[in-house]
Copies of this chain bind each other. A is one copy, B any other.
Amino acid sequence: MKIAQVAPLYESVPPRLYGGTERIISFLADGLVEAGHDVTLFASGDSTTRAALAATRDCALRLDPNPPTSAIAAHLAQLHEVRRRASEFDVIHFHLSHFLHFPFFEDIAWKTVTTPHGRLDYRDLAGAYGLWPRFPMISISNNQRLPLAGANWLATIHHGLPARPHSQPQWNGEGGYLAFLGRVSRDKRPDRAIEIALRSGYRLRIAAKIGDDDQHYFRETVEPLVDGTNVEFIGEIGEAEKDEFLGKATALLFPIDWPEPFGLAVIEAMSVGTPVVAWNCGATGEIVDDETGAVVDTIEAAVVAVHRVARLDRARIRAVFERRFGAERMVGQYADAYARLLAMHGA
């Protein structure tokens, strides 16, 4: 198949730093090439891919050394180019959350598919979708669909990650701590993680980025609870360190307080055999089960769960990860969805 992948321009593909969407697009584009498809990736010029790179902008917006930038104008120019070349592709796959591409492609919506990577409960999204109701959509969890339940959903395809080359089975939770990974923000509830750790008698290690918007929250709410012994803050860590940080943890705490449409950190933990104690919020209930962790609603339940999941079979968690959340499975499901899309239109 001739497939166009259209990535947002905020980060390169894969992202140099934080950026789940662009990591997933990278695995998908490379995986489709691996599977023999002819893939063109529309992304910023500092991307690295096995697909043919079509760049309408030299570098990603967030790391542009020459601000100010216009995200809208940058994406309009990108979509103009995708449209100009549209006839070259059998399928055009958009990874934009806010439907900016709809007006460009309304007459060929049937050969496009859109994966929104963000939450869909923004006011305005359902109304806008209703004006372009034929666009085929793929959700990253069933939960993500709820605010847009009536859309033209083609499939739910959970994210996938490649097998972890750096992962060491012998890590096996040997650090004896609980892990918190990601961003320190009100929505991610590091304060809950701290309370769960203190009440369950485990140390907590927090490996997280503090964004500009979150400085105030960190200072007021989290920092006073960091004592360096029971609660340790180690800052942002890179991909390579992440596997060890997770692999040596007894469990990952994911006590979020927002409708997370997927939660990549959860499957990152599973990929190195580490169980997850997640709050029942957004998509966590679709991803975590009793074999791989626990989904809880209260601090008390989380404390009980920590002690239970500490005894789970970590090899089994890795096996579940490989079956349910591997990159190849994701790539195969997307290829099937593209084929179904074309079959529906006799292409």
Contacts and interface: CB of A to CB of B under 8 A. Distances in A.
A66 B99 contact: no
Contacts of A66: 123
A81 to B, nearest CB: 8
Interface stretch (A68-76, A160-168, A173-181): A68-76
A57 interface: yes
30 contacts: A56-B127, A64-B123, A67-B123, A68-B119, A68-B123, A69-B122, A69-B123, A69-B124, A70-B123, A70-B124, A70-B125, A70-B128, A71-B124, A72-B72, A72-B99, A73-B98, A73-B99, A73-B122, A73-B124, A73-B127, A73-B128, A74-B123, A74-B128, A76-B98, A76-B99, A77-B127, A79-B103, A80-B103, A103-B103, A103-B104
A15 to B, nearest CB: 19
Interface string A335-347: 0000000000000
A17 to B, nearest CB: 20
A202 to B, nearest CB: 34
Contacts of A104: 103
> Of A66, A76, A122, A124, which is in contact with the most chain B CB atoms at under 10 Å from its CB?
A124
Interface string A91-106: 0000000111011100
Interface of A: 56-57, 64, 66-74, 76-77, 79-80, 98-100, 102-104, 119, 121-125, 127-129, 131
A312 to B, nearest CB: 36
A181 to B, nearest CB: 24
A76 B102 contact: yes
B123 A77 contact: no
Instruction: Count this chain's copies in the assembly.
Output: 2
Contacts of A56: 127
B123 A100 contact: no
Given A70-B122, A71-B124, 10 more contacts: A68-B119, A69-B124, A73-B98, A73-B125, A73-B129, A76-B99, A76-B103, A77-B128, A80-B103, A80-B131
> Of A67, A98, A121, which is in contact with the most chain B CB atoms at under 10 Å from its CB?
A98
Contacts of A57: 124
Contacts of A122: 68-70, 73
Contacts of A123: 64, 66-70, 74
A102 B69 CA distance: 18
Contacts of A77: 124, 127-128, 131
A67 B131 CA distance: 21
Contacts of A70: 98, 122-125, 128
